């Protein structure tokens, strides 16, 4: 994030403005990725009119960065109507898609509508690996074709890769593919639990050895020595620091109108079908509680050596049962980076409680329980070029 963007984020924080929103338009999808956390049925998505009204409300509330995601956004027949309305309200629009339904015509339209960037999921440069993850034969070919159509229009494209056991050896190949296509790429080393609390897909996460390798790749992390350095001591100022932008300057809205602090933080905070967006943002007791939490309020993390440098995700902590607690997946990453165990790891080791025995919370939406944990905006999970 640039200095100016950080300055604007600080200003939004001070003014209590939701600068960034991820809006999932649908959970329906034309792929069936093995690591996906979504229920792909439609339990009553917002209508076109409801979404346009929500966009108006979000513009009036000060939302600038709007990420449209899913599910597969182009599964909605009204997608371009929605996008057109979003651009009419001058949002900075980013799209997350698998690109399978983007051909020359769609790419041209995206260009005409002034989309800022398009993130396309690519899990491997090898069809046999990518297509096995998406469970759709030919999906890699179609996604790469989409990238070429978008690049022909001069659009900014990012290949989004998720590291898991199936593709652990392929991230360098994806980076080479990105270079060949003239686009950027990112790598997220975290597979998160399913929306209903099912944690079986966590078994797809790569092991410590693979994490260590990724974190020591200078092409990915920049200065390896700095990135993997032992954590600096926790200072008094650190104890007053905020965990991340979730609920502070950013939030997430599901296809059913449920509002959460973040796509990865399934704390139901209101529903725009019943309450105005800005009223949820300003008055929701849940969002107020999230905003009240600093490192000082976290019993384990405030005493942890990694307290000041950890990428702890409050949403993953919440899914482990306590939004003031540690996020074990981030403890794993801190350990892989530095070789120094977190307080949480030490406590678990002392009690001989393995990571896999953690009890995760069941996620309850205000509408039929659905939530997308696709990616967490502005949190340092992804390492990329």
Partner 1 sequence: MKSYRYVARSKSIAARALGDVTMVMSATDSKLFTLDEIASVIWQAADGVTPLNEIVANKICTQYDIAPEAALKDAEAIVEDLAGHGILLLSDQPLAEQGNSRGGTL
d(CA 46, CA 215) in angstroms, rounded, equals 40
Q: How far, CA to CA in Å, does 61 sit from each of 17, 45, 257, 278, 385?
A: 7, 22, 16, 6, 32
Q: Within positions 139 to 178, which residues make up the interface with partner 1, using CB under 8 A?
A: 154, 156
Q: Nearest-CA neighbor of 101 among 123, 82, 118? A: 118
Q: Nearest-CA neighbor of 358 among 303, 318, 307, 301? A: 318
Which of residues 21, 29, 93, 304 is near partner 1 by CB under 8 A?
A: 93
Read off the tokens for 238. Answer: 């650190």
Query: Interacting stretch for partner 1, rule CB under 8 A, among 82-90, 127-135, 184-192, 230-238?
Result: 82-90
15 binds partner 1 (CB under 8 A): yes
- Calculate helix-pair angle for 79-88, 48-61, nearest 10 degrees: 20
Read off the tokens for 376. Answer: 């967490």
- Shortest distance, position 22 Cβ to partner 1, whole Å: 16
- Shortest distance, position 177 Cβ to partner 1, whole Å: 22
Read off the tokens for 267. Answer: 């704390």
- Shortest distance, position 86 Cβ to partner 1, whole Å: 10
- Shortest distance, position 211 Cβ to partner 1, whole Å: 30
Annotate 201-237 with DSSP letters as a single string. GGGGS--HHHHHHHHT-HHHHS-HHHHTSPPPPPPHH
378 binds partner 1 (CB under 8 A): no
Residue closer to partner 1, measured from CB, 11 or 349? 11
d(CA 261, CA 245) in angstroms, rounded, equals 9
How many chain residues interact with partner 1 (CB under 8 A)? 29
Query: Interacting stretch for partner 1, rule CB under 8 A, among 23-31, 75-83, 89-97, 286-294?
Result: 89-97
- Shortest distance, position 144 Cβ to partner 1, whole Å: 23
Q: Nearest-CA neighbor of 93 among 78, 112, 75? A: 112
Q: In what order do the strands lie in the sheet with 117-121?
A: 259-260, 250-253, 20-24, 65-69, 92-97, 117-121, 157-162, 184-188, 383-384
252 binds partner 1 (CB under 8 A): no
Query: Interacting stretch for partner 1, rule CB under 8 A, among 15-23, 254-262, 297-305, 357-365?
Result: 15-23
Query: Interacting stretch for partner 1, rule CB under 8 A, among 85-93, 286-294, 301-309, 351-359?
Result: 85-93
Which of residues 88, 169, 176, 179 is near partner 1 by CB under 8 A?
A: 88
Residue closer to partner 1, measured from CB, 29 or 183? 183
Which of residues 13, 28, 48, 59 is near partner 1 by CB under 8 A?
A: 59
Q: Within positions 18 to 37, which residues make up the interface with partner 1, using CB under 8 A?
A: 19
63 binds partner 1 (CB under 8 A): yes
Instruction: Specify whether the backbone of 220 is left (phi greater than 0), alpha (psi in -120 to 50) or beta.
Output: alpha
User: Which residues of this protein are in contact with partner 1, per CB under 8 A?
Assistant: 2, 4-5, 7-8, 11-12, 15, 17, 19, 59-64, 87-93, 114-117, 154, 156
């Amino acid at each position: 994030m640039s200095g100016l963007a950080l300055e604007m984020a600080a200003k939004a924080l001070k003014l209590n403005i939701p600068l960034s929103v991820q809006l999932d338009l649908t959970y329906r999808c034309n792929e069936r990725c093995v690591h996906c956390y979504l229920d792909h049925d439609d339990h009553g998505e917002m209508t076109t009119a409801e979404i346009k009204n929500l966009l108006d409300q979000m513009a009036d509330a000060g939302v600038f960065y709007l990420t449209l995601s899913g599910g597969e956004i182009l599964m909605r027949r009204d997608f371009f109507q929605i996008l057109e309305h979003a651009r009419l309200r001058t949002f900075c629009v980013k799209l997350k898609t698998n690109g399978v339904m983007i051909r020359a015509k769609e790419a041209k339209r995206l260009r005409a509508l002034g989309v800022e960037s398009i993130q396309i999921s690519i899990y491997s440069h090898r069809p046999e690996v990518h297509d096995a993850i998406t469970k759709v034969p030919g999906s890699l070919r179609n996604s790469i074709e989409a990238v070429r159509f978008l690049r022909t229009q001069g659009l900014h494209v990012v290949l989004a890769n998720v590291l898991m056991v199936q593709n652990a050896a392929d991230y360098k190949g994806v980076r080479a593919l990105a270079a060949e296509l003239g686009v950027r790429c990112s790598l997220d080393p975290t597979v998160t639990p399913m929306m209903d609390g099912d944690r079986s897909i966590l078994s797809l996460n790569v092991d410590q050895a693979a994490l260590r390798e990724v974190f020591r790749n200078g092409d990915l992390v920049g200065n390896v020595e700095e990135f993997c350095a032992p954590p600096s001591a926790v200072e008094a100022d650190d104890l007053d620091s905020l965990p991340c932008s979730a609920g502070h300057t950013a939030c997430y809205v599901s296809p059913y109108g449920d509002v959460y602090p973040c796509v990865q933080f399934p704390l139901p905070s209101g529903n725009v079908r019943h309450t105005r967006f800005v009223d949820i943002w300003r008055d929701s007791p849940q969002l107020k509680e999230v905003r009240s939490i600093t490192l000082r309020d976290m019993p384990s993390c405030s005493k942890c050596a990694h307290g000041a440098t950890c990428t702890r995700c409050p949403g993953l902590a919440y899914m482990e049962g306590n939004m003031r607690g540690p996020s074990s997946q981030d403890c794993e990453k801190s350990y892989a980076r530095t070789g120094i165990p977190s307080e949480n790891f030490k406590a678990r080791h002392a009690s001989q409680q393995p990571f896999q025995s953690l009890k995760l919370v069941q996620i309850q939406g205000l509408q039929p329980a659905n939530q997308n944990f696709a990616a967490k905006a502005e949190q340092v999970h992804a390492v990329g070029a």
